[in-house]
């Protein structure tokens, strides 16, 4: 299993994803309310980590490299999964659940607990 760099964080992945979507450092800086040099520094760090330019100048602005494009979907998936970590849980409401529950117990406990569970 490959190890992750110590200095990799979710914010850097967010910047990667936005850069690949927007193809413009200044627009990403505006979206994240950060100075443009900060986003440029993050792009440099991402280039070092990946060993790829990720975005290159084209005739009509920045264009993702092939490797950059291949990172777009995994970056989005990481951001989506990370967001799910912090979704508030809805309290369990037994009367609203439509699941099948399997309850196992020794036979001698049937008479003590089963009437309350089924009721």
The whole model's pTM is what?
0.71
Q: What CA–CA distances, in Å, run from 15 to 11, 37, 94, 105? A: 6, 13, 42, 53
What does the alpha-carbon distance between residue 85 and residue 51 come to, in Å, rounded to a whole number?
Answer: 30
Q: Rounded CA gap, 45 and 12, in Å?
A: 9
pLDDT in tens, the chain (119 residues): 456 677 679 999 999 999 999 999 999 999 999 999 999 999 999 999 999 999 999 999 999 999 999 999 999 999 999 999 988 888 878 788 787 877 777 887 777 777 776 76
In angstroms and rounded to an integer, the radius of gyration of the C-alpha atoms of the chain is 25
User: Is 76 exposed, middle or buried (CB count within 10 Å of its CB: 0-12, 13-18, 19+)?
Assistant: middle
Domain that holds residue 50: 1-119
């Amino acid at each position: 299993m490959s190890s992750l760099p110590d200095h990799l964080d979710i914010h850097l992945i967010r910047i990667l994803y936005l850069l690949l979507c927007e193809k413009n450092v200044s627009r990403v800086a505006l979206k994240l309310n950060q100075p443009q040099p900060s986003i440029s520094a993050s792009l440099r760090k991402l280039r070092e980590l990946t060993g790829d330019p990720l975005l290159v100048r084209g005739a009509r602005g920045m264009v993702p490299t092939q490797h950059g494009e291949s990172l777009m979907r995994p970056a989005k998936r990481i951001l989506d999964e990370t967001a799910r970590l912090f979704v508030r849980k809805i309290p369990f409401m037994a009367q609203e659940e439509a699941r099948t529950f399997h309850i196992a117990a020794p036979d001698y406990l049937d008479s003590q607990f089963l009437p309350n569970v089924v009721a």
